[in-house]
């Protein structure tokens, strides 16, 4: 059957219904996405315009393999106690001063998140944050907020720092170094301004004197290390992966293979049963990605996304205006819906627009939009959702009002910083 407007409306309806189900939280998000794939394929067979093979062809397996490799590595590294060791070392350096605890823990979470998934980092750091804050008699909420917000910002800075960046990298063809060159500067400025904002917002909290500082200084960071030998091996593997990521232009080795190789070598070093080692792999997340690629592929097959890209392009002939539009639309949308499905939906559109203008600025606008915009609300990124969930569990709930006070302001501020960088790039290129 011809892919008419009726077919486009039908596939778009399925796509929207699926996203509503994902957003509602009625089912686990991978299940919701798979339900969407089931509906899309069923309609395709009924009206003879789409089959299962067509959808599977749209799955970006490089992204899936890279995520699998990194998840395997991170899970094994976490078991050594390395992240907790870093956190305790930084806490001791603070000597119990609330501002330095905020600064050190937030920045450690941020820079670790540039290489390793920030959700894993948050899950490991927050319990320790609460434990230390309660020991010192200070409110842990500002520190938890700093860890979530700054880690989201930091994840934008590298190709592997955030799943949307991984998706964008393989769709755009940009390398690890391209992401550093284009995104690290706005990320650094955004971090600096967000820290100043935190200093202003939490000025009263900063004046509170900590208790039991002597007890804090007695903490031994090394007792958190479970296996020092393995930790050293895993660090060498990490340095190796970063080296090969950064030399991709010269070696031609795919980032997906580098991550997979890192995960495999870490598995060999771990000497664990495979079943146990793979517990850290978020299989539901991988299934979610596969389903999202398939859903978006269904829209592509009908030509709808190409028409939408043409419609956006027609709004202006100025690539700067189009880039800023992509930044803010993707950013605001990502503040209400997880940035992974938003990125999946935007990639074909941005790909079409970027090729029309022969400009890569649109790709950087999308990366910054879905990364920075997620901080505007507590549901804008997975790290935010996990932080709020853990705050409830440990009896120091981060309310919506608390989030708006710092998170929303930081999200809007960083979006403005990114807009300024888009203007600068437009003027110098």
- Least confident stretch, 18-22, 34-38, 100-104, 412-416: 18-22
Contacts of 335 (CB under 8 A, 6+ apart): 373, 374, 375, 376, 377, 379, 380, 411
Domain membership of residue 11 (yes or no) is yes
- Least confident stretch, 161-165, 211-215, 263-267: 211-215
Categorize the per-residue pLDDT at 127 as very low, low, confident or very high, splitting at 50, 70 and 90: confident
Q: What is the mean pLDDT of residues 74-103?
A: 85
Domain membership of residue 287 (yes or no) is yes
Categorize the per-residue pLDDT at 4 as very low, low, confident or very high, splitting at 50, 70 and 90: low
Categorize the per-residue pLDDT at 422 as very low, low, confident or very high, splitting at 50, 70 and 90: very high
Handedness of CA 350, 352, 353, 355 (dihedral sign): positive
Distances 221 to 10, 104, 218, 225 between C-alpha atoms, Å: 58, 15, 9, 8
Categorize the per-residue pLDDT at 2 as very low, low, confident or very high, splitting at 50, 70 and 90: very low
- By three-state DSSP, how is residue 355 classified? helix
* pLDDT tens-digit readout, 392-420: 888 899 988 899 999 999 999 999 999 99
Predicted confidence at residue 23, as pLDDT, reads: 73
* pLDDT tens-digit readout, 379-394: 788 788 888 888 988 8
- By three-state DSSP, how is residue 116 classified? coil
CA–CA separation, 264 and 261 (whole Å) = 5
Domain membership of residue 238 (yes or no) is no
Domain membership of residue 201 (yes or no) is no
CA–CA separation, 102 and 243 (whole Å) = 31
* pLDDT tens-digit readout, 226-275: 888 999 999 999 999 999 998 988 888 999 999 999 999 999 988 877 77
Does residue 111 carry a pLDDT above 60?
Answer: yes
190, 417 contact by CB (below 8 A): yes
Domain membership of residue 2 (yes or no) is yes
Does residue 163 carry a pLDDT above 70?
Answer: yes
Does residue 3 carry a pLDDT above 60?
Answer: no
Work out how many domains the chain is built from and give that number: 1
State the residue range of the domain holding 29: 1-57+283-302
Predicted confidence at residue 265, as pLDDT, reads: 93
Q: What is the mean pLDDT of residues 281-309?
A: 83
CA–CA separation, 325 and 305 (whole Å) = 17
Predicted confidence at residue 1, as pLDDT, reads: 42
Domain membership of residue 43 (yes or no) is yes
Predicted confidence at residue 77, as pLDDT, reads: 87
Domain membership of residue 406 (yes or no) is no
């Amino acid at each position: 059957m011809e892919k008419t407007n009726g077919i486009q409306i039908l596939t778009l309806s399925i796509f929207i219904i699926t996203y509503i189900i994902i957003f509602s939280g009625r089912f686990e998000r991978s299940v919701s996405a798979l339900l969407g794939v089931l509906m899309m394929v069923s309609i395709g067979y009924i009206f003879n315009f789409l089959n299962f093979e067509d959808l599977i062809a749209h799955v970006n397996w490089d992204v899936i393999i890279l995520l699998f490799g990194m998840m395997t590595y991170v899970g094994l590294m976490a078991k050594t106690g390395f992240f907790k060791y870093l956190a305790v070392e930084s806490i001791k350096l603070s000597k119990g001063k609330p501002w330095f605890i905020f600064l050190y823990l937030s920045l450690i979470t941020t820079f670790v998140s540039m290489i390793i998934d920030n959700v894993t980092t948050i899950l490991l750091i927050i319990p320790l944050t609460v434990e230390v804050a309660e020991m010192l008699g200070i409110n842990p909420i500002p520190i938890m907020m700093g860890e979530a917000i700054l880690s989201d910002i930091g994840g934008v800075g590298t190709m592997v720092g955030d799943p949307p960046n991984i998706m964008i990298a393989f769709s755009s063809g940009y390398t690890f170094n391209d992401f550093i060159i284009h995104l690290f500067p706005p990320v650094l400025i955004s971090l600096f301004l967000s820290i100043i904002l935190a200093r202003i917002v939490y000025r009263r909290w900063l004046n509170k004197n900590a208790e039991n500082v002597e007890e804090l200084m007695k903490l031994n960071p090394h007792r958190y290390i479970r296996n020092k030998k393995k930790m050293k091996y895993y660090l060498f593997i990490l340095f190796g992966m970063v080296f090969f990521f950064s030399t991709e232009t010269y070696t031609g080795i795919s980032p997906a293979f580098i991550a997979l190789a890192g995960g495999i070598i870490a598995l060999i070093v771990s000497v664990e049963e495979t079943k146990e080692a793979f517990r850290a792999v978020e299989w539901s997340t991988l299934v979610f990605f596969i389903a999202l690629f398939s859903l978006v592929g269904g829209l592509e097959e009908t030509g709808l996304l190409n028409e939408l890209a043409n419609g956006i392009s027609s709004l202006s002939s100025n690539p700067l205006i189009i880039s800023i539009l992509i930044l803010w639309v993707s950013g605001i949308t990502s503040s209400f819906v997880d940035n992974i499905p938003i990125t999946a939906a935007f990639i074909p559109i941005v790909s079409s627009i970027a090729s029309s203008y022969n400009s890569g600025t649109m790709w950087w606008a999308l990366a910054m939009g879905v990364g920075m915009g997620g901080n505007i609300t507590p549901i804008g990124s997975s790290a935010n959702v996990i932080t709020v969930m853990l705050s409830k569990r440990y009896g120091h709930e981060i309310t919506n009002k608390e989030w708006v006070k710092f998170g929303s302001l930081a999200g809007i501020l960083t979006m403005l910083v990114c807009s300024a960088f888009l203007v600068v790039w437009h003027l110098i290129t």
